[in-house]
């Protein structure tokens, strides 16, 4: 039987470099964080320095005793100092004339809560580095506590569901929108189910970091904390995009553009039924969540429409 040689899809051509991580690293099975890091090292290449904090990514990025799990240089600092430390690194490498990509890789707890002040400061100073926040909507490493990006109604260990509690009472902070309002060269949201979109945004980030601050918000479901099966993390990512719960967009100096539009958005119940942290929600609470999703998307849509001139 003669077989025609099958062709690999085009998305693999974006992988310029080899995987810089060891084959087996200590991330939970099915965690999209591991995929984010491996894609990052494949796309951005070896000339990358990661700045990180104590978080889910820390056990792997730090190394253990005198060994290491990957070949990228890593600068570890406290949650309150990640953007400031990256500023110092960038300025040092600019002084010695070496072209490197400094990437801050932190969770939503650092980006939205603990380390928000240096992040906002670095964005305002327009420092030349990439800040990647993987948003798992809580402090997953320390035991699934709520953070300010935890959505309304989500059950965590500090917002438990019981006789009194009904999950988180407040709405989530829309961090990527806040960062876009700093009018930095590039802000984008990405998720792993839309891989080509994510890779293109990483490449664009590498280019745009020469102009200034770049922020990428990666939606990253946590199989343990959210109560999803280990095989359905990518499915949850995809459903979050299809329900407009997590719209994919990018903003260049405040000019918004939706990179992926959903023709007929699904109701948010299609997303929440996949996830155990939402299973206690009643009809009214789901309606409120849907209302939040709708208003967030409408706001974003207005921004995108407003900022895109029809003529050019």
Q: Is the dihedral of CA 214, 14, 51, 134 positive or negative?
A: positive
Contact segment (CB under 8 A) with other proteins among 50-58, 152-160, 223-231, 240-248 equals 223-231
Q: Tell me which of 2, 5, 96, 309 binds other proteins, using CB under 8 A.
A: 5
Q: Which residue has the tokens 């998307």?
A: 297
Count CB-CB contacts under 10 A for residue 101.
Answer: 23
Nearer to other proteins, 13 or 283 (CB): 13
Residue 234 in tokens: 């990518």
Which residue among 58, 178, 203, 234 contacts other proteins (CB under 8 A)? 234
How many C-beta atoms surround the C-beta of residue 75 within 10 A?
16
List binders of other proteins among 55-94 (CB under 8 A): 63-64, 66-69, 71
Does residue 38 bind other proteins (CB under 8 A)? yes
Interface residue with other proteins among 124, 231, 291, 305 (CB under 8 A) is 231
* Interacting positions 183-212 with other proteins (CB under 8 A): 192, 195
73/105 Cα distance (integer angstroms): 13
Decide whether 72 or 111 has the Cβ nearer to other proteins. Answer: 72
In terms of CB distance, is 23 or 309 closer to other proteins? 23
Residue written as token pair 């939970």:
28
Give whole-number Cα distances, 185 to 77, 127, 283, in Å. Answer: 25, 10, 41
Closest distance of CB 28 from other proteins, Å: 8
What token pair was written down for 11? 């998305």
CB 224 within 8 A of CB 138: no
Positions that interact with other proteins (CB under 8 A): 3, 5-9, 11-12, 17-27, 29-32, 34-35, 38, 42, 63-64, 66-69, 71, 192, 195, 229-235
């Amino acid at each position: 039987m003669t077989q025609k040689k099958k062709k690999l899809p085009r998305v693999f051509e974006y992988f310029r470099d080899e995987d810089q991580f060891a084959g087996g690293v200590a991330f939970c099975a099915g965690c999209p964080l591991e995929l984010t890091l491996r894609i990052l090292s494949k796309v951005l290449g070896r000339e990358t320095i990661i700045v990180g904090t104590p978080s889910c990514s820390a056990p792997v990025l730090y190394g253990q005793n005198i060994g290491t799990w990957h070949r990228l240089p890593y600068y570890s600092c406290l949650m309150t100092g990640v953007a400031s430390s990256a500023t110092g690194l960038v300025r040092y490498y600019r002084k010695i004339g070496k072209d490197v990509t400094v990437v801050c890789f932190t969770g939503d707890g650092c980006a939205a809560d603990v380390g928000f002040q240096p992040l906002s400061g670095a964005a305002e100073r327009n420092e030349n580095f990439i800040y990647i926040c993987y948003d798992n909507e809580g402090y997953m490493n320390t035991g699934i506590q709520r953070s300010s990006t935890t959505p309304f109604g989500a059950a965590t260990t500090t917002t438990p569901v019981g006789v009194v509690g009904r999950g988180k009472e407040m709405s989530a902070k829309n961090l990527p929108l806040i960062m876009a309002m700093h009018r930095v060269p590039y802000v984008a949201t990405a998720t792993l189910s839309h891989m080509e979109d994510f890779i293109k945004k990483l490449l664009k980030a590498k280019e745009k970091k020469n102009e200034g601050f770049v922020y990428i918000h990666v939606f990253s479901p946590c199989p343990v904390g959210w109560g999803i099966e280990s095989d359905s993390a990518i499915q949850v990512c995809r459903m979050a995009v299809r329900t407009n719960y997590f719209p994919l967009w990018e903003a260049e100096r405040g000019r918004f553009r939706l990179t992926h539009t959903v023709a007929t958005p699904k109701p948010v119940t299609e997303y929440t039924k996949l996830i155990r942290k939402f299973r206690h929600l009643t009809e009214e609470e789901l309606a409120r969540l849907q209302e939040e999703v709708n208003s967030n998307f409408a706001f974003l849509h207005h921004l995108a429409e407003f900022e895109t001139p029809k003529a050019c």
